[in-house]
A = this chain, B = another copy of it.
Amino acid sequence: MEVQIAVAKVNKYATSESGDTLEIVERPNGGLSVVLADGQTSGRGAKAISQMVVRRVIGLLAEGVRDGAAARAASDALFTERQGKVICTLNIASVDLHSRTIVLTRNNPAPVFICRHDRIDAISDESIPLGTSRNVRPLITELAIEPGLFIAIYTDGLTHAGARRGNPMDVSSVVRSVIEDQDPSPQLLADTLLAHAVRLDENRPADDISVLILKVTPRDGDNVRRMTLRLPLDGIRA
């Protein structure tokens, strides 16, 4: 099998810094974790918050701390520093080769979509961002790694797209339309969701938007890990 991960990420219109931070860390017992945080408001202040949260979570995961404990620690640190005045959403998606599961940790009102065999489930239980109080609990979902699994995670810029113009985003129906295709790549799903949201915002995203997709495929090829990253250089023209 192979786990494929795709990310598509765009800044709020006319801001040079995204309040969303996404980073990846190798787990010391095998596998990796993707950590996505969205700091309150946008621009430089939000970036500092989401970077602080991601740094802390990644540092703990790298030491072997479990995902839920890392999320709680980041929340406590943020609450202590800002006394509940600044909050930050957090999603962790871990491919844990030790337990052979995918572990999803969520402190984010935005739901997570899980697709298996043409069935799409939204995990939408109430979930509170980090830094809101002393006792913030993450919601944890653990899934066996099996071919055909598709997971969609995103920051609230996606859900809020178009809302101001009275034409809100229906994430579920976009996910369904892509999943029903012939074996879509995770990048196609990430790009389609993002493009749909940007269109609803009339090409001027009202907020930072990040989309993270995981897919498990039955592919049994070489044992090469591969990564590709594309970084558009806004303002540095050819």
Contacts and interface: CB of A to CB of B under 8 A. Distances in A.
Contacts of A145: 233, 236
Interface stretch (A18-26, A115-123, A176-184): A18-26
Contacts of A6: 226-229
Contacts of A62: 51, 55
Q: Taking each of A31, A55, A146, which has the highest tally of chain B beta carbons within 10 Å of its own beta carbon?
A: A55
B231 A95 contact: yes
Q: Which 9 A-B pairs have the closest CB atoms?
A: A218-B238, A7-B227, A5-B229, A9-B225, A226-B230, A3-B231, A1-B233, A227-B229, A228-B228
A10 B226 CA distance: 9
Interface of A: 1-11, 16-17, 21-26, 28, 30-32, 51, 55, 59, 62, 95, 97, 100, 145-147, 186-187, 190-191, 194, 218-234, 236-238
A221 B31 CA distance: 33
A5 B226 contact: no
A99 to B, nearest CB: 11
B55 A8 contact: no
Contact of A223 (B59, B228, B232): B232
B223 A5 contact: no
Contacts of A220: 237-238
A23 B21 contact: no
Nearest to A22: B227
Contacts of A219: 232
B224 A234 contact: no
Nearest to A100: B236
Contacts of A187: 226, 228
29 contacts: A1-B232, A1-B237, A2-B233, A3-B231, A4-B230, A6-B226, A6-B229, A8-B226, A9-B225, A10-B222, A11-B223, A17-B30, A21-B26, A23-B23, A23-B24, A24-B229, A26-B51, A59-B59, A97-B233, A146-B238, A194-B224, A219-B232, A224-B230, A225-B231, A226-B228, A226-B230, A227-B229, A228-B228, A228-B229
Nearest to A3: B231
B100 A231 contact: no
